[in-house]
A = this chain, B = another copy of it.
């Protein structure tokens, strides 16, 4: 996939082709500098030297070196990434939940019977304190009302429009600006070394697929997430339609992550990245495979540049991104490198 982009493949492919064509090899120096310079030539530039960066470099070296016992054939190279809190900001609230709450007025405008019914009444009140107290069951009602009942195209158009206008409350920037630059470099580095990079998110698969290509270079088919059923049918004009249904096919959290990986990818990842207890089973499943494996955790310990939360950072637990002390203990026991945002990352965002 990524090799389709001109900057992605040409130099590497050219080099290997030249190696097969001795008559041309002496002309290597004549290639313009632009064709030789790639972001991945110096991998992970936003990372400080340290054990986390070294673990990534070592993993890629040993799994792509044909003389290594841990060599992995290109067609078998798979790396999976949790999204919220691993590839972009998840505090103070998952962006998709913000989307669903923002959609409530439009839904109620079409269905006035919901105006005085909970939990819609509370959301319409705008009372943030009351909204923060909504139960899981309340949230499920809001998700069902705002994420289902429309065609897949209508959903895509609505969510896309929201993404263009919504702003994160702290940085006043689009959510899509709030990806972690060091993790984008990990995606680039793995892809430059033949890995297919997947998002494996507890969030909605359809929601993440809207922007994954644009912000991570990850196409829709490489996004595995919590997924609802769709229903095939025909519109009034006889044209086929796919409508989003309020029936969950895959809850892509905890045990659902390895189950979703089997369903959607069909092979065990060689590397996996997460940041919370919801990623634990994916990291375990990855780590238990034969050969060299890499399971890593992002620790949010940088209140100044991003956030610090969860017991592993020495702070109380939060509703989102629970990095418990038990998970931290497992990481130490299993030898999963933990990434300290504060110490391992030179910068957090591309706009800094």
For chain A, the count of residues having a C-beta within 8 Å of the partner chain is 59
Contact with A266, one of B11, B31, B75, B206 (Cβ below 8 angstroms): B206
Does A266 lie within 8 Å of B221, measured CB to CB? Answer: yes
Which residue of chain B has the shortest Cβ distance to A244 in the bound complex? B262
The answer to the question of A51 belonging to the interface, with a C-beta cut-off of 8 Å to chain B, is no
Q: Cα distance A230–B223 when bound, in Å? A: 19
The answer to the question of A344 belonging to the interface, with a C-beta cut-off of 8 Å to chain B, is no
Chain B CB within 10 A, most for which of A9, A30, A209: A9
Q: Cα distance A271–B285 when bound, in Å? A: 36
Does B3 lie within 8 Å of A20, measured CB to CB? Answer: no
Does B35 lie within 8 Å of A20, measured CB to CB? Answer: yes
Does A17 lie within 8 Å of B3, measured CB to CB? Answer: no
Contact with A242, one of B14, B239, B262 (Cβ below 8 angstroms): B262
Q: Report the minimal beta-carbon distance from A131 to chain B, rounded to whole angstroms.
A: 31
Contact with A240, one of B75, B229, B288 (Cβ below 8 angstroms): B288
Contact with A4, one of B21, B32, B194, B229 (Cβ below 8 angstroms): B194
Does A242 lie within 8 Å of B285, measured CB to CB? Answer: yes
Q: Cα distance A263–B244 when bound, in Å? A: 11
Q: Cα distance A281–B239 when bound, in Å? A: 11
Does B194 lie within 8 Å of A262, measured CB to CB? Answer: no
Does A249 lie within 8 Å of B221, measured CB to CB? Answer: no
A219: B residues at CB distance < 8 A: 75
A231: B residues at CB distance < 8 A: 255, 259
Which residue of chain B has the shortest Cβ distance to A32 in the bound complex? B21
Interface 1/0 per residue, A1-45 and B, CB below 8 Å: 101101001110110110011011001001110010000000000
Does B220 lie within 8 Å of A265, measured CB to CB? Answer: yes
Which residue of chain B has the shortest Cβ distance to A152 in the bound complex? B262
Chain B CB within 10 A, most for which of A31, A227, A229, A263: A263
Which residue of chain B has the shortest Cβ distance to A198 in the bound complex? B221
Interface 1/0 per residue, A205-234 and B, CB below 8 Å: 110010001000001111100010111110
Which residue of chain B has the shortest Cβ distance to A287 in the bound complex? B240
Q: Cα distance A2–B263 when bound, in Å? A: 22
Does B14 lie within 8 Å of A17, measured CB to CB? Answer: yes
Does B16 lie within 8 Å of A10, measured CB to CB? Answer: yes
Does B240 lie within 8 Å of A258, measured CB to CB? Answer: yes
Does B14 lie within 8 Å of A32, measured CB to CB? Answer: no
Chain B CB within 10 A, most for which of A221, A229, A281: A221
Q: Report the minimal beta-carbon distance from A335 to chain B, rounded to whole angstroms.
A: 16
Known: A9-B9, A209-B266. 10 other contacts (CB 8 A): A3-B3, A21-B30, A21-B35, A23-B27, A24-B24, A75-B213, A75-B219, A229-B259, A232-B258, A240-B284
